[in-house]
Amino acid sequence: MKVDVAIIGSGPAGLAASIELARSGLSVAIVDEYYRPGGRLLGQLYDDPHAPVNQRRWDGKKVATELVEQARTLGVTILCGATVWSVSPGWQIELSGSEEKSVYAKAVLLATGAAEKALPMPGWTLPGVFSVGAAQTFTNVHRVAIGKRVMVVGIDPLALSVAMEMKHAGIDVIGVAMAPRSPMTEKLSSPIQALSRLGDAAALAPNLFLRTIGRLTAGSLSQVAVYALSLPLLQVDGIPVHIRKAVTKIEGEQSVEAVILQAVSAKGEPTGREERVEVDAVCLSAGLYPLIELAQVAGCSLTHIPELGGMVPLYGKDLSTTAEGLYVAGNITGIEGAKVAMAQGKLAAVSIVQTFGKTPSLTKEEAIQAVEQARALSPIQFFPQVQVGLAKMEQLWCEAWLQREGEQVWRM
């Protein structure tokens, strides 16, 4: 198959980009290994307090359906169930699991998204233990309850959001607790860090106390709040949030039967007696990281920026990379929300359209502003220091650009 632009990933970034590209007269193919397009949009269901009153219910599955319909109406080819195993400059994309074995394109957009980090702990391989993303997919996409009594382990914006979604689906979510202290958990086991993450998700919770706590996460007040939360005061939509208790073990013979809860200090160190709580399912949340393997295969420079989620491709403001004709958008650039990803997809598309000598629906400056606005209004902040990370990226990009220009002058 030959197209003008190949997009790898059919999530919010890839779909939004395909629509802008197709409207500009370019031929587009999207490749995704999942059986249906939509990516992480498919599992999202929450209220966005920053949206207009009549648009506050964010139904990702509905949004994905609308984007797919628009893309297909404009002639975009969507190949699902196809795994990309090679991306070569030129650009040639090799596939498996599809009737199409190769896709040839003049430009490529990587919108591969993110993956979940593991949260290893005693009992985590038992049947009935789910990652938070899997729990979200079962609940919101397939309408399947992962259990009758569920404990969520790991306190962060995604965990709180999915806990509320499961409760709204009729599941008895008995609580959200800290991860156990170990060399693998690091900040995940710190109540102070957890309290900071609660502040990042406060806008999602219909809970005045949580919004108040969000204002206490700055400076020395955070430690005061952590000590205060040794009392069972905090709930999110009626779900207890145990800042000062950690799940240290998951028990069961053939499947999950219970978890062991233990009180912890403000630093996350075990301090109190153990408590056995019966559950039939456990949901583990350890955060997300960008999927950058294909960027590496394609010859794109990578850099480590913790504020964006870890290792990410080196990219410019227009989302171009160090590999000519290769662009990135969505969570591969840093972990953010779906609305930011959609705006980034459109920005990447605008940048690509201009390289073909065509006129996009908006200028590059307008597209950049749209990304910044989506970021400012995002109801969830997975990494609160994303602006610091973006500043680092801009600096690194400028340095790489100056080095490249210097090498070209030297060769002349």
196 vs 255, more confident: 255
Residues in the chain: 412
Q: Which residue among 238, 253, 284 closes a domain?
A: 284
Specify the range with the lowest mean pLDDT, choosing from 25-34, 126-135, 197-206: 197-206
- Using the predicted structure, report yes or no on whether residue 220 has a pLDDT greater than 60: no
What b-and-e string marks burial along 77-106, b requiring 16 or more CB atoms within 10 Å of the CB?
Answer: bbbbebebeebeeebebebeebeeeebebb
43 vs 143, more confident: 143
Count other Cβ atoms within 10 Å, centred on residue 361: 14
Domain identity same for 274 and 195: yes
- Using the predicted structure, report yes or no on whether residue 199 has a pLDDT greater than 70: no
CA–CA separation, 300 and 404 (whole Å): 14
Domain identity same for 250 and 108: no
Count other Cβ atoms within 10 Å, centred on residue 123: 19
Domain identity same for 27 and 170: no
| Model pLDDT for residues 268-282, shown as the tens digit of each residue | 888 878 999 999 999
| 3-class secondary structure per residue, 161-202 | HHHHHHHHCCCEEEEEEECCCCCCCHHHHCHHHHHHHHHHCH
- 3-state secondary structure (DSSP) of residue 106: strand
Q: What is the mean pLDDT of residues 56-69?
A: 90
Q: Which residue among 267, 284, 301 closes a domain?
A: 284
Domain identity same for 153 and 295: no
Residue 3, strand partner residues? 105
Q: Is residue 15 very low, low, confident or very high in pLDDT (cuts 50, 70, 90)?
A: very high
Report the Cα–Cα distance between both ends of the chain, in Å, rounded.
Answer: 38
CA–CA separation, 252 and 406 (whole Å): 62
- Using the predicted structure, report yes or no on whether residue 44 has a pLDDT greater than 60: yes
Q: Which residue among 257, 284, 311 closes a domain?
A: 284
- Using the predicted structure, report yes or no on whether residue 221 has a pLDDT greater than 80: no
For the chain, the domain total comes to: 2
CATH number at residue 209: 3.50.50.60
Residue 37: what pLDDT? 96
Question: What's the angle, vertex CA 311, arms to CA 319 and CA 130, rounded to 5?
Answer: 110
| Model pLDDT for residues 140-175, shown as the tens digit of each residue | 889 999 999 999 999 888 898 899 999 999 999 999
Residue 227: what pLDDT? 54
Nearest to 373 by CA among 344, 403, 412: 344
Question: What DSSP letter does each residue of 89-101 carry, written as one string?
Answer: TTTEEEEESSS--
Query: Domain range for residue 355?
Result: 2-115+288-411
User: The pTM is what?
Assistant: 0.88
Residue 203: what pLDDT? 52
Nearest to 345 by CA among 103, 1, 28, 3: 28
- Using the predicted structure, report yes or no on whether residue 348 has a pLDDT greater than 50: yes
Write the DSSP symbol of residue 81: S
Average pLDDT over the chain reads 88
| Model pLDDT for residues 362-406, shown as the tens digit of each residue | 999 999 999 999 999 887 778 888 999 999 999 999 999 888 765
Contact 259, 175 (CB under 8 A): no
Contact 315, 333 (CB under 8 A): yes
- Using the predicted structure, report yes or no on whether residue 204 has a pLDDT greater than 60: no
Residue 412: what pLDDT? 37
CA–CA separation, 60 and 358 (whole Å): 31
CA–CA separation, 227 and 222 (whole Å): 9
Domain identity same for 135 and 276: yes
Biggest CA pair distance of the chain: 72
70 vs 141, more confident: 70
Residue 410: what pLDDT? 44
271 vs 408, more confident: 271
